[in-house]
Structure 1
Amino acid sequence: MGVAQIALAGISCLLLLVAALSKVTEQQSMRDMAAHVAIPWPRYRAIGYLELLAVVGIVLGLWWAWIGVAAGTGTVLLLVGAVVVHTRAGDPLPAMVPALATLASAAGYVAVTLAA
């Protein structure tokens, strides 16, 4: 396990936790975003629970690489979907920065884990 893998896991988990906890605790900003991108609130909140599961998987991946790769790959797919949804909603690039940053860190984590 290398420094890059640990760093990318930490960054990915931090970014995912911020997003997940905002959704799971039903912050008004997340409710507004769900309405903006036309996703029913229960489905949007469910994304928060998937993000929490991804955090658990990435952390476990530090000991069992295959779990981390699975969680990281799922995160990448989830965030590609988020970027598509933001694009369809007509959001400008700055509004997509959190999704793009998390996507980049998760993709990097998967790449580094597979290379190890």
Structure 2
Amino acid sequence: MHITALTLSALLAVAMLQSGVMKFVRPAWIRQFAEAVHLTTSQLHVLGSLQIAATVGLIWGIWFPPFAIAAAIGLVLYFVGAIVAHIRTGDRNMLGAMVFLTFSIATSIVLGVDVFLT
């Protein structure tokens, strides 16, 4: 179970780092997503910072698992909020948020079970 927890944490960390950095770089496709849910540039930067902070927590969690669990749970809340924002604005393009939500939930569960069993 420990290898699974580490693998999921590392994969989620890489995905969140890439997504967080893209919110600062703001290529055209990110700007389109942001406009669809009415996000300003400063809000986009805050969201990117949260994803990068989660990346740090997931990586630190390799040595101190409560950090990884907290980061993964934070990402669950982050993506629930993202889905709510899509629904409130009538934007149906929320597949990415749903995939990341599922990935964050799975990582949280596996990390919790791993800590509980060790």
In which range does the TM-score fall when normalised by the shorter chain?
0.7 to 0.9
Aligned to 2:27: 27
Question: Which segment is superposed worse, 76-85 or 14-23?
Answer: 14-23
Aligned to 1:61: 61
Aligned to 2:98: 100
Taking every aligned residue pair, what percent have the same amino acid on both sides? Answer: 27
Q: Helix, strand or coil: the match of 1:51?
A: helix
Q: TM-score, normalised by structure 2?
A: 0.86
Q: Helix, strand or coil: the match of 2:39?
A: coil
In the alignment, is the contact (CA less than 8 A) between 1:11 and 1:105 conserved in 2? no
- CA shift, 1:42, in A, is 0.4
Q: Helix, strand or coil: the match of 2:94?
A: helix
Inter-partner Cα distance in structure 2 for 1:97 and 1:35: 16
Amino acid at match of 1:111: I
Size of the aligned set, in residue pairs, is: 114
> What residue ranges of structure 1 are gaps of 5+ in the alignment?
none
CA RMSD of aligned residues (A): 1.5
Describe the shift of the 1:105–1:73 C-alpha distance in structure 2 as closer, same or farther (beyond 3 A).
same
- Structure 1 residue 50 corresponds to structure 2 residue 35: no
Q: Helix, strand or coil: the match of 2:67?
A: helix
Question: Which segment is superposed worse, 28-37 or 47-56?
Answer: 28-37
- CA shift, 1:54, in A, is 0.3
- CA shift, 1:43, in A, is 0.9
- CA shift, 1:10, in A, is 2.3
> What residue ranges of structure 2 are gaps of 5+ in the alignment?
none
Aligned to 2:7: 7
Q: Helix, strand or coil: the match of 1:91?
A: coil
In the TM superposition, structure 1's runs of 4+ consecutive aligned residues that sit over 4 Å from their partners are none
Q: Helix, strand or coil: the match of 1:23?
A: helix
| Cα deviation digits, residues 7-43 of structure 1 (max 9, x gap) | 2112212321221111011223222222221122201
Aligned to 1:75: 75
